[in-house]
């Protein structure tokens, strides 16, 4: 593997496990047993590493946000989209968790992320429209517009939400994939009222899978304050 790719993979692992703000280029170089100068030969600074990781994440997401060709969209397509979303959220969880800080710190990343968000929402709307055209989703254009925006807001903010309610520690290193699965459950809940009747019998098992044994009670996500809330 080329040194540049090793730097990116190691950086991604460290950012995910320790939090991007807690990892310096010196830390990355030490983990790879290379000199800081060797790292700077490939990347000018940490922002450049983050940007290149974002480009990989963007390419991955755009690779599966595609409307099926030559046939009607099915609910299995939607399940595949959910799995792909979950895997991308997990693989690049530092991007979602540290998003506000990362965008404030790098104008180039901020501009690229805005373009990526716009394109992804547009792609997602086309997917929902294809489901509506196939009779899987019973929604008009206004409902589709609102639904895709709500889904995107949920996807990009879920990791930050988990951090804000102290399920994980400040650097996010204890985040579990099961917690991210809850975001997919929430997406299913958003879509459920609009799904055709023939699809709804499939939902209980699917929701159970993405709940991963957790309660549907939203207050259960706030373990440190749950007792106080219930006593009021």
pLDDT in tens, 124-175: 999 999 999 999 999 999 999 999 999 999 988 888 888 787 644 455 555 6
Q: How far apart are CA 29 and CA 90, in angstroms?
A: 24
How much is the mean pLDDT over the chain? Answer: 88
What confidence score (pLDDT) does residue 196 get?
95
- pLDDT for residue 226 is more than 50: no
- pLDDT for residue 113 is more than 90: yes
58 φ/ψ angles, rounded to the nearest 5 degrees: -60, -45
For residues 44 and 181, the model is more confident at: 44
What confidence score (pLDDT) does residue 230 get?
47
Query: In 3D, which of 100, 110, 113, 108 has the Cα closest to residue 20?
Result: 100
For residues 216 and 54, the model is more confident at: 54
Q: Which CATH architecture has domain 47-231?
A: Orthogonal Bundle (1.10)
Mean of pLDDT values over 201-218: 88
Q: How far apart are CA 228 and CA 231, in angstroms?
A: 5
What confidence score (pLDDT) does residue 83 get?
86
165 φ/ψ angles, rounded to the nearest 5 degrees: -100, 15
Q: How does residue 212 score in pLDDT terms, banded at 50, 70 and 90?
A: confident
- Which tens digits make up the pLDDT trace of 161-172? 887 876 444 555
Q: How far apart are CA 3 and CA 10, in angstroms?
A: 10
- Which tens digits make up the pLDDT trace of 68-111? 888 888 888 888 888 898 899 899 999 988 888 899 989 999 99
- CA dihedral (203, 222, 95, 86) in degrees, to 10, reads -20
Mean of pLDDT values over 32-53: 96
Q: How does residue 232 score in pLDDT terms, banded at 50, 70 and 90?
A: very low
What confidence score (pLDDT) does residue 173 get?
53
- pLDDT for residue 66 is more than 80: yes
Mean of pLDDT values over 169-186: 73
């Amino acid at each position: 593997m080329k040194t540049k790719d090793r730097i990116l993979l190691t950086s991604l692992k460290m950012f995910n496990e320790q939090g991007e703000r807690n990892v310096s280029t010196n830390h990355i170089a030490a983990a790879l047993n290379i000199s800081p100068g060797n790292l700077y030969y490939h990347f000018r600074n940490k922002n450049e590493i983050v940007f290149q990781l974002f480009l990989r994440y963007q390419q991955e997401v755009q690779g599966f946000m595609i409307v099926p060709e030559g046939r009607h969209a099915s609910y299995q397509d939607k399940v595949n989209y959910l799995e792909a979303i979950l895997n991308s959220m997990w693989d690049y969880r530092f991007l979602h968790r540290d998003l506000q800080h990362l965008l404030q710190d790098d104008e180039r990343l901020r501009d690229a992320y805005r373009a990526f968000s716009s394109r992804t929402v547009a792609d997602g709307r086309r997917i929902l429209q294809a489901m509506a055209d196939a009779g899987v989703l019973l929604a008009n254009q206004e409902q589709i517009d609102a639904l895709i925006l709500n889904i995107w807001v949920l996807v990009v903010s879920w990791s930050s939400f988990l951090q804000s309610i102290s399920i994980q520690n400040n650097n996010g290193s204890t985040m579990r994939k099961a917690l991210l699965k809850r975001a997919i459950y929430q997406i299913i809940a958003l879509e459920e009222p609009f799904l055709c009747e023939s699809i709804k019998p499939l939902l209980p098992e699917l929701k159970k899978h993405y709940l991963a044994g957790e309660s549907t009670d939203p207050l259960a996500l706030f373990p440190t304050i749950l007792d106080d809330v219930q006593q009021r």
